[in-house]
Amino acid sequence: MHAAFASKLCSLLTNIDCLCGHLVCRTCLDFLARSFADKDLRLREEAGGRLKCPGDGCFSTPYPQAELALKLPEDVFELLLDARKEVHERQIRASLEPEIKEIVHRRAAETKLDAARHHIHEILTLKCPRCNQAYFDFDGCAALTCSSCGTGFCAWCGDDAGRDGHNHVTSCPAKPPGADRFFGTELQIKAAQKCQKRKRLCDFMRTLDHETQDKLREEMRDDFEGNGLYDVEDANVDDEEINRADRDEHWIDAPELGMGDDCLLYTSPSPR
């Protein structure tokens, strides 16, 4: 009786069985565990990362981890743990992938918007065309000289005119008819500056997709209005429609300042 009990106990300590009663010896269990750890990750995923009974048609649950830890050599059990860990890590990555993609997409859109905002602020800031030193006022002569780099540039069109802008200013196509050879009135200069900003802003907005354009119009409306730029047209609208829409939105042309249909100034909307 004692010998039979000892034999049964030895069997329990070295062999493993499933709920269906399929018995696997320790040698086969060792081989089964090593083979499972070496399987392709996809196959391990199908098994949930857990070692199961190899019996044909067996639907038992995986072997308990505690029992495997008891009956397998330590190094083999570690292989099983690593194999299961790899499955879990892949499952976690897969579950997070949609969220990660959304975050990446959102950050890319935010980065694109930030870059566009920065560029628009650059457009709306009067500055030297060569070194980008900002300026706010001058003495009336449209031939300007940068206080930072010494570049000559034109107040009418904003272009770089080399060392001295006087020759350019006398024949600048952006200068309104009837303006002085070198000087302009405050109203004339401001009108020309608005025209500069509007043209550059419209050219830039045409390079952006519709979604980005719409967000910028909404977010930067105060910046546009503060610069006399009530709105910026859609990238796919032709110039004739733009000018018609501008008039509808209370833009006015200023022919006496040389500002024709291609460059309209904004006046505050009248009450509706």
| Residue 214 CA: distances (Å) to CA of 205, 206, 208, 226 | 10, 12, 10, 18
* Beta bridge mates, 254: 259
Residue 145 belongs to what H/E stretch? strand 143-145
- Encode pLDDT of 95-130 as tens digits: 888 887 888 777 877 888 888 999 988 888 888 889
On whether the CB atoms of residues 133 and 147 are closer than 8 A, the answer is yes
pLDDT of residue 230: 54
Amino acid at 248: D
C-beta neighbour count of 217 within 10 angstroms: 15
Of the pLDDT bands very low, low, confident and very high (cuts 50, 70, 90), residue 4 is very low
Angle at 84 between CA 79 and CA 86, to 5 degrees: 95
On whether the CB atoms of residues 220 and 119 are closer than 8 A, the answer is no
- Which range scores top for mean pLDDT: 81-95, 153-167, 203-217, 229-243? 153-167
Mean pLDDT in residue range 8-19:
62
**Distance of alpha carbon 161 from alpha carbon 167, whole angstroms:** 8
The first and second tokens of residue 219, run together, are 């977010």
Mean pLDDT in residue range 47-63:
82
Three-state secondary structure call for residue 185: coil
pTM of the model: 0.50
**Distance of alpha carbon 27 from alpha carbon 76, whole angstroms:** 12
